[in-house]
């Protein structure tokens, strides 16, 4: 199975895991037509649709061995293991010699293993291997022989779990009923990928486009996830797999286009942090993005003192299917030749989701070949004497008999994360359809001794909050004036705005029927939670970090930008945008009884300083859902679309260390 294959709504190994909505089908189709439709869906790798067609066909004729086998195949590929087991067993009873369906007993063995029935699976694998022993070079025979001992090892792993590990299923602030995966935590900010954005859809394939989100962890829990801005998330394409270089000045992500219901073509993109902001993402050169092949799941590591980019690709020259590759990250921003991680890491099946632990010099990855519990297991390989050593299974409870992928360790080296569709993951249609994010504590991993510049750490955390967006109620602050400054503090305007939540619900839901009424209330709740409140939380965190940075004698330039609507981009609206920026400056000037005042334009070269820089007012893109009708307050003031236009941003932050 290629990593380019997306298990639609079946959180598997995929770069991006997609949730397919069941399409409407005509009832009363003839059995022959249903089989043809199911075959067509299978040829398009639409296993969900194929399973539905074959289910209807088998309800019309449950004795037909052809339909039984096709339904079993579609169910296996659709992760409906109990259904697949039932119908594979029926086929074997009718086709005892395996003349019609020689691989049936092999696939039943795979299903048994994926259900944790290791003794039964071993017998079936052994029987298949012995029956076909003359076919020594056949993949299925090789795999069956390998799985005989793998089933014994799986039983050992289950019988000896690591009892010191407590797997924590992240709650609904992060996980949802669709796929969440590719977690990476940097200084209490969790980056992950998800299909939850219903606003940006691939209508041809009936899926949401994948986006990258963040959630911030406080001392108690994770906060509600926020979608990153358009620098990271491009509409009309799948965005996933965030990775940072060692000093967090370069970010890598995957972007993927969908070929059919399961197959995607992916490229790796990168952005650098320059002039106080993340620059536009650019596709990496041919050394990484080999044309005509999938290249995905970037991760940065160090082999000795050489910084390298790991990734997964199905390019030629590997051991088979998806392999782990790496190339040198040169100081001039160019890349070395891609190198295969070798046969102790890669196999004739899939190796995916690489992650490299620099202090322990170990490569973590997931594989379906090396001895494991079923599906994808997570392995590690030590880098020693300039090569990767034998892959070792991480055991239980980290691994399960489901798909366990995307192992990472946080920047503090105290906690690890994985993605898994194991039992207990959230789902909408059926259990274990979808990946969720899990975490567990690990013993502190100590980095090699080095001088740590704490101010730079705090600067990095500030940069991760940019662009920082803040929102305002209509014509605030200071209604009906043409002034370009205000005496109001942004925090005061935020507090005044927050208490209007119920009024927004009332006004925006006017005239709606029951279904749309509930949707309108939810839209307002989402706007206030994810935009208004989240912006204020980010501003408070930004200010806390700014305080620490200034104490560390950094010179900081904060670039701000106000926006006005194209529906009425008059001088009045431009002045209103300037007042909003002024309220943010007032917030900083009044923060903690004026803590920042002494740093504003501080001339002392040996101390920290703040410079506020204001860019020209930006014009927002015209939005069809926003009314410019003065009397249509529901849509011109209280709709989320209109409210999202009333904003300012901290768009950049740059720093220079003061003279010592």
CA distance 249 to 654: 12
- 622: pLDDT strictly greater than 50: no
Q: Is 517 left (phi over 0), alpha (psi -120 to 50) or beta?
A: alpha
Average pLDDT for 619-625: 57
The pLDDT value recorded for residue 13 is: 38
Q: Which domains does the chain have, with CATH numbers?
A: 31-159 (1.25.40.10), 168-441 (2.115.10.20), 454-657 (no CATH)
CA distance 10 to 20: 9
| DSSP secondary structure, 330-346, as one string | -TTS-B---EE--TTT-
The pLDDT value recorded for residue 433 is: 75
Residue pair 117/125 in contact (Cβ under 8 Å)? The answer is no
- 91: pLDDT strictly greater than 50: yes
- 275: pLDDT strictly greater than 50: yes
The pLDDT value recorded for residue 658 is: 65
The residues near 578 (Cβ < 8 Å, ≥ 6 apart) are 484, 485, 562, 614, 617
The residues near 560 (Cβ < 8 Å, ≥ 6 apart) are 581, 584, 585, 612, 613, 614, 615, 648, 649, 650, 651
The pLDDT value recorded for residue 621 is: 59
In the chain, % of residues over pLDDT 90: 65
C-alpha distances out from residue 604 to 599, 609, 654, Å: 9, 8, 18
| DSSP secondary structure, 283-325, as one string | E--TTTS-TTS-EEEEEEEEETTEEEEEEEE--TTSSSSSEEE
| DSSP secondary structure, 36-91, as one string | HHHHHHHHTT-HHHHHHHHHHHHHH-TT-HHHHHHHHHHHHHTT-HHHHHHHHHHH
* Mean pLDDT, the chain, whole residue set: 88
The pLDDT value recorded for residue 6 is: 36
Residue 636's nearest CA partner among 466, 475, 497, 425 is 475
Token pair listed for 534: 């989240």
pLDDT tens-digit readout, 312-333:
999 999 998 999 999 999 888 8
C-alpha distances out from residue 17 to 241, 252, 256, 567, Å: 12, 19, 11, 39
CA distance 314 to 98: 32
pLDDT tens-digit readout, 445-485:
876 655 556 677 788 778 888 899 999 999 999 998 999 99
| DSSP secondary structure, 353-389, as one string | EEEEETTTTEEEEEESSSS-SSS-EEEEEEEETTEE-
In the chain, % of residues over pLDDT 70: 91
CA distance 147 to 139: 12
- 119: pLDDT strictly greater than 60: yes
Of the listed ranges 67-76, 258-267, 412-421, 584-593, the least confidently predicted one is 258-267
- 527: pLDDT strictly greater than 60: yes
> What stretches of 115-264 show up as alpha helix (H) in DSSP?
118-131, 139-159
CA distance 212 to 547: 29
pLDDT tens-digit readout, 576-618:
999 999 999 999 999 999 999 999 999 998 999 999 999 988 7
Q: Tokens 């945008």 label which residue?
A: 577
CA distance 521 to 643: 14
The pLDDT value recorded for residue 408 is: 97
CA distance 271 to 231: 9
The pLDDT value recorded for residue 204 is: 79
C-alpha distances out from residue 54 to 25, 68, 430, 457, Å: 12, 8, 18, 56
Q: Tokens 């965005």 label which residue?
A: 239
pLDDT band at 627 (very low <50, low <70, confident <90, very high): low
The pLDDT value recorded for residue 659 is: 53
pTM: 0.77
More confident residue, 542 or 14: 542
Of the listed ranges 150-154, 344-348, 577-581, 629-633, the least confidently predicted one is 629-633
CA distance 516 to 512: 5
């Amino acid at each position: 199975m290629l990593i380019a294959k997306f298990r639609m709504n079946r959180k598997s190994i995929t770069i991006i895991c997609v949730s397919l909505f069941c399409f409407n089908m005509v009832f009363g189709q003839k059995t022959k037509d249903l089989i043809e439709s199911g075959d067509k869906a299978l040829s398009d790798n639409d296993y969900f649709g194929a399973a539905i067609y074959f289910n209807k066909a088998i309800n019309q004729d449950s004795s037909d061995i052809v339909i039984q086998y096709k339904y079993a195949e579609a169910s296996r590929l659709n992760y409906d293991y109990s259904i697949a087991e039932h119908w594979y067993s029926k086929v074997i009873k009718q086709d005892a010699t395996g003349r019609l369906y020689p691989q049936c007993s092999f696939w039943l063995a795979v299903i048994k293993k994926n259900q944790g029935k290791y003794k039964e699976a071993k017998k079936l694998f052994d029987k298949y291997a012995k029956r076909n022993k003359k076919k020594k070079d056949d993949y299925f025979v090789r795999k069956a022989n390998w799985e005989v001992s793998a089933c014994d090892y799986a039983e050992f792993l289950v019988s000896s779990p690591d009892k010191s590990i407590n797997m924590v299923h992240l709650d609904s602030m992060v996980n949802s009923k669709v796929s969440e995966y590719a977690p990476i935590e940097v200084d209490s900010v969790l980056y992950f990928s998800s299909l939850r954005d219903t606003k940006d859809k691939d209508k041809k394939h009936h899926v949401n486009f994948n986006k990258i989100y963040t959630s911030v962890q406080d001392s108690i829990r994770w906060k509600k996830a926020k979608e990153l801005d358009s620098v990271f998330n491009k509409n009309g394409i799948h965005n996933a797999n965030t990775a940072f270089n060692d000093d967090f000045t370069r970010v890598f992500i995957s972007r993927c286009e969908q070929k059919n219901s399961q197959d995607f073509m992916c490229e790796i993109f990168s952005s650098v942090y320059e002039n106080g902001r993340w620059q536009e993402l650019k596709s990496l050169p041919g050394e990484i993005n080999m044309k005509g092949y999938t290249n995905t799941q970037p991760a940065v590591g160090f082999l000795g003192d050489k910084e390298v980019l790991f990734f997964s690709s199905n390019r030629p020259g590997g051991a088979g299917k998806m392999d782990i590759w790496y190339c040198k990250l040169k100081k001039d921003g160019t890349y070395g030749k891609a190198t295969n991680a070798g046969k102790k890491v890669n196999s004739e099946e899939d190796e995916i989701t690489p992650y490299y632990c620099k202090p322990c010099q170990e490569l973590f990855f997931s594989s379906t070949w090396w001895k494991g519990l079923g599906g994808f297991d997570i392995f590690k390989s030590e880098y020693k004497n300039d090569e990767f050593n034998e892959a070792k299974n991480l055991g239980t409870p980290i691994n399960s008999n489901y798909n366990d992928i995307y192992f990472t360790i946080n920047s503090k080296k105290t906690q690890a994360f994985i993605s898994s569709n194991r039992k207990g993951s959230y789902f909408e249609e059926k259990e274990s359809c979808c990946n969720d994010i899990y975490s567990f504590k690990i013993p502190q991993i100590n980095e090699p001794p080095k001088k740590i510049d704490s101010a730079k750490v705090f600067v990095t955390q500030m940069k991760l909050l940019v662009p920082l967006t803040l929102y305002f109620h209509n014509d605030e602050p200071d209604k009906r004036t043409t002034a370009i400054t205000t005496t109001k503090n942004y925090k005061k305007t935020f507090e005044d705005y927050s208490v209007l939540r119920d009024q927004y619900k009332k006004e925006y839901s006017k005239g709606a029927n029951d279904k749309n009424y509930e949707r309108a209330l939810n839209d307002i709740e989402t706007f206030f939670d994810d935009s208004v409140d989240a912006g204020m939380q980010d501003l408070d965190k930004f200010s806390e970090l700014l305080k620490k940075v200034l104490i560390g004698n950094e010179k900081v330039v904060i670039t701000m930008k106000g926006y006005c609507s194209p529906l009425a981009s008059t001088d009045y609206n431009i002045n209103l945008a300037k007042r909003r920026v002024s309220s943010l400056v007032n917030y900083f000037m009044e923060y903690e009884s004026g803590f920042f005042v002494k740093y504003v334009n501080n001339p002392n070269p040996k101390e920290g300083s703040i410079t506020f820089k204001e860019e020209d007012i930006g014009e927002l893109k015209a939005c069809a859902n926003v009314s410019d009708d003065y009397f249509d307050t529901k849509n011109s003031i209280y709709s989320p679309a209109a409210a999202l236009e009333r904003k300012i941003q901290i768009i950049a932050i740059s720093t220079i260390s003061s003279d010592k």
